[in-house]
Structure 1
Amino acid sequence: MTDENSTAATSSSSSSPSPPSILLPNLPNDVALQCIARVPISHHPILSLVSKSWRSTVKSPLLYAARSLLNSTQHLLYLNIRINSSFHWYLLDQNPTNPKKSRILSPLPPLPSHPIGSSFSVLGSKIYVIGGAINENPSNSIWVFDCRYNRWEMGPKMRVCREFAAAGAINGKIYVMGGCLVDNWARSMNWAEVFDPVEGLWCGVPSPIEVRDKWMHASAVIGDKMYAMADRGGVVYDAVVGEWGGVSTGMDMGWRGRAAVVDGVLYCYDYLGRIRGYDVEEDEWKELEGVGKGLPKFLCGATMANVGGKLFVVWEGKGSGKEMEIMCAEIEVRKEMGGMLSGSIVWSDVILVVPNRSSIVHCAAVGL
């Protein structure tokens, strides 16, 4: 072969598209993808070290789609903790085949700004940090943490600046309400807003004057309804039919602190520090039986989340010298015959040691 022919052949081969990288030898890539999709999330950093093609696969939306189809989605707990004057995010990951072992608490990239009094919501694989005050000025900013790629990004701003608002996700959209003064037309018309991720826009949700309280100290989504507790009673919004109403007196009197919904039951702690559950249909609070000896009295509060159908409780434990323990418990909850609520503690342990005077801001569950 002449030099010209050799050069032409080299040029031709370099210009032709390279074949796709083989993920696993002797297997089509679509089959290999299903194999990789079965590996727990905690092992993904190791998988990404195998090759460039594996690193690309681990970050690909196709992998998360495959995990969903294979029912391999893993639910993870994310924690937001205030240490001194800064906010820190952590991921609690555990081996789904043996939840008593391999619990890993990993620090996450810091939020670029540090608003106080933000609201939180989870939509898909993203955590939304909504509003909050910066230098005592309420903000309409939205920060979004993409849990698939471990990175923060700015989201579309709300129409109204808010702090201590109610927030929740219903049918693929995020609803917020309250947390703002209703002292002009714009705030009045946008006292409640909804965010559609497909459109990427916030829109006002019409609301009657009588529900427009300023501060919301707790909120939760049960079914297609969002419940928000205000300084004076509370409100409920049915996102399907677009109707507003008031919460029952029983719900209002028993709701204290941050709550989580598991199988349609709203769990929080009462004034005696015990965990109780509220059933909307029965309009009654009931103590969660079976966990009293394994958990302390939550007189200083606790934060809760529904992690894959289990009730996770996170609280500030005992301090020693200049340090304090962050405790966590996983509870399997059940609604027995006759309506009684019972629970069994799967595990309870220290997950983090932080300086004294630190505080738990929020915890959220994300399925990946």
Structure 2
Amino acid sequence: MTNPIAPPPKRHKKTNCPPHVFNVLSSLPDEIVVSVLARIPRSYYRSICLVSKSFYSLLSSPEMYAVRSEIGATEPRLYVFLRGRIPFTKKNNSWFTLMGSAFNLRLKPVSLSSTYAPARFNSTTVSVGFEIYHIGGTVLHRSKAVGVLDCRYGTWRRIPNLIVARKYPKSCFLDGKIYVIGGVEAEESSMKNWGEVFDIKLQTWMPFPSPSDYIGVVDPNYQVVVFGARLYVITKHNNYAYDPKQGRWLPPDVGLVGLAEVVINRPFCVIENVFFAECGGKYKWYDSRYGMWIMVENLESLYCFRRGVETISLVNHGGKLVIMCYAPLSRFYKRVLGQSKNIMYGVIRLAFLGTHIRGELENWDIIERRVPKSCKLLACLSVSL
């Protein structure tokens, strides 16, 4: 099994922590050592691993993640799925994570310890804790396959197949369950086949009926999102809300006016129960009280140098707004390299100030240069490690 933490070298390097501290820790029971080390940021783990092989084993153990999760010490990390041949890896269709310092982040291929991967194209992905669920899609035909990537160790595992084969479905995680909606052929579309739900504890799929016969027929374009502890299906005509506590669909919501025209066909995300999206080249938030899109303040510096940049994905990354973009090459590189592009990454810290939201640009950088134009970013997810 591949481990995300590099094994300690034979020679111990110097650390800033006095040696006697580690000697004291080494003499304590593993349970206490895990409780102490779980409170240390992951960025220090490689240095700690240099001290002792026993620390290396503890830091990479499931018990360590369980304690970090219990005390709320997990840290968000971005994972990206790219389709196409990636020059610096010489691989097709690969998962990457962002690694490096705050102002020198680069895409690093995820070393997978198994060759299994589910259907790769036209699928849907959703993150749950330290795992990424890769659901449905196509290879030659629509697929029922579901694979789970354990981001701690870079391992794939199979879970029970979907009830119905799907491509281009949409998914979300809510209240311990994964909802997968749409992705069936028109002739197979029905209230029963429309969606299904996976209970993570029971490891079973169950049908998830549609709230209306109109979805998928009159409203073929829709978006699925968790908002206010409910699952929303947003269409051009209606917004349908499912309450998991009541286990039923609520009457069509007459609120959220003007939301569909932005989120259905554009990147968006929800942070602190607020919708964020790109509108007319600007990043805005949705005021559900008045049905209005309002600009995030203090981002003038971002707009000055994002000309020609295409937003691909917006992600809630530990409460911050992460922007993934394609950026055009300079004229010189276009002449030399032809049809290529850069992949850019931005981070905005948000301050919720009642009637307005203020943003602070923390980072804006190219994370991969001169990738082929055919390369596509299919997924960008934030996981907890």
* Range of TM-score over shorter length: 0.7 to 0.9
CA separation in 2, counterparts of 1:23 and 1:78? 37
CA separation in 1, counterparts of 2:47 and 2:97? 17
Preserved CA contact (<8 Å) 2:82 2:378 = yes
* C-alpha spacing 1:114/1:231, structure 2 compared with 1 (3 Å): farther
The offset of 1:287, in angstroms, is 1.6
Correspondence 1:32-47 to 2 at 5 A = 32-44=33-45
Letter in 1 for 2:352: K
The offset of 1:23, in angstroms, is 9.4
Give the match for residue 160 of structure 2: 156
> Structure 1: 5+ residue runs without aligned partners?
1-21
Give the match for residue 274 of structure 1: 282
Give the match for residue 147 of structure 2: 143
Give percent identity, aligned residues only: 26
* C-alpha spacing 1:225/1:182, structure 2 compared with 1 (3 Å): farther
- Determine if the alignment matches structure 1 residue 341 to structure 2 residue 340: no
Judge which range, 196-205 or 66-75, deviates more.
66-75
Give the match for residue 105 of structure 1: 107
The offset of 1:258, in angstroms, is 2.0
Preserved CA contact (<8 Å) 1:224 1:240 = no
* Deviation by residue 1:243-263 (Cα, 9 ceiling, x = unmatched): 153574411122241211111
The offset of 1:45, in angstroms, is 5.4
* Deviation by residue 1:272-322 (Cα, 9 ceiling, x = unmatched): 221111233443221222213314257733311111111111101122343
* C-alpha spacing 1:222/1:334, structure 2 compared with 1 (3 Å): same
Correspondence 1:108-257 to 2 at 5 A = 108-109=110-111, 112-113=117-118, 115-135=120-140, 137-181=141-185, 183-184=187-188, 188-213=191-216, 216=221, 218-229=223-234, 235-241=240-246, 242-244=248-250, 245=252, 248-255=256-263, 256-257=265-266
CA separation in 1, counterparts of 2:203 and 2:313? 30
The offset of 1:37, in angstroms, is 1.5
**Secondary structure in 1 aligned to 2:165?**
coil
Give the match for residue 3 of structure 1: none
The offset of 1:50, in angstroms, is 5.4
Preserved CA contact (<8 Å) 1:313 1:330 = yes
The offset of 1:349, in angstroms, is 1.0
CA separation in 2, counterparts of 1:75 and 1:33? 20
**Secondary structure in 1 aligned to 2:161?**
coil
Give the match for residue 60 of structure 1: 61
Give the match for residue 28 of structure 2: 27
Preserved CA contact (<8 Å) 1:125 1:147 = yes
TM-score (norm 2): 0.78
Q: Computing the radius of gyration over CA atoms, which structure comes out larger, 1 or 2?
A: 1
Judge which range, 103-112 or 137-146, deviates more.
103-112
* C-alpha spacing 1:103/1:184, structure 2 compared with 1 (3 Å): closer
The offset of 1:157, in angstroms, is 0.9
* C-alpha spacing 1:122/1:113, structure 2 compared with 1 (3 Å): closer
**Secondary structure in 2 aligned to 1:210?**
coil
Preserved CA contact (<8 Å) 1:166 1:216 = no
The offset of 1:103, in angstroms, is 3.7
Give the match for residue 346 of structure 2: 329
Preserved CA contact (<8 Å) 2:308 2:328 = no
CA separation in 2, counterparts of 1:82 and 1:267? 26
The offset of 1:120, in angstroms, is 1.3
> Structure 2: 5+ residue runs without aligned partners?
1-22, 87-91
* C-alpha spacing 1:259/1:69, structure 2 compared with 1 (3 Å): same
The offset of 1:171, in angstroms, is 1.1
RMSD: 2.9
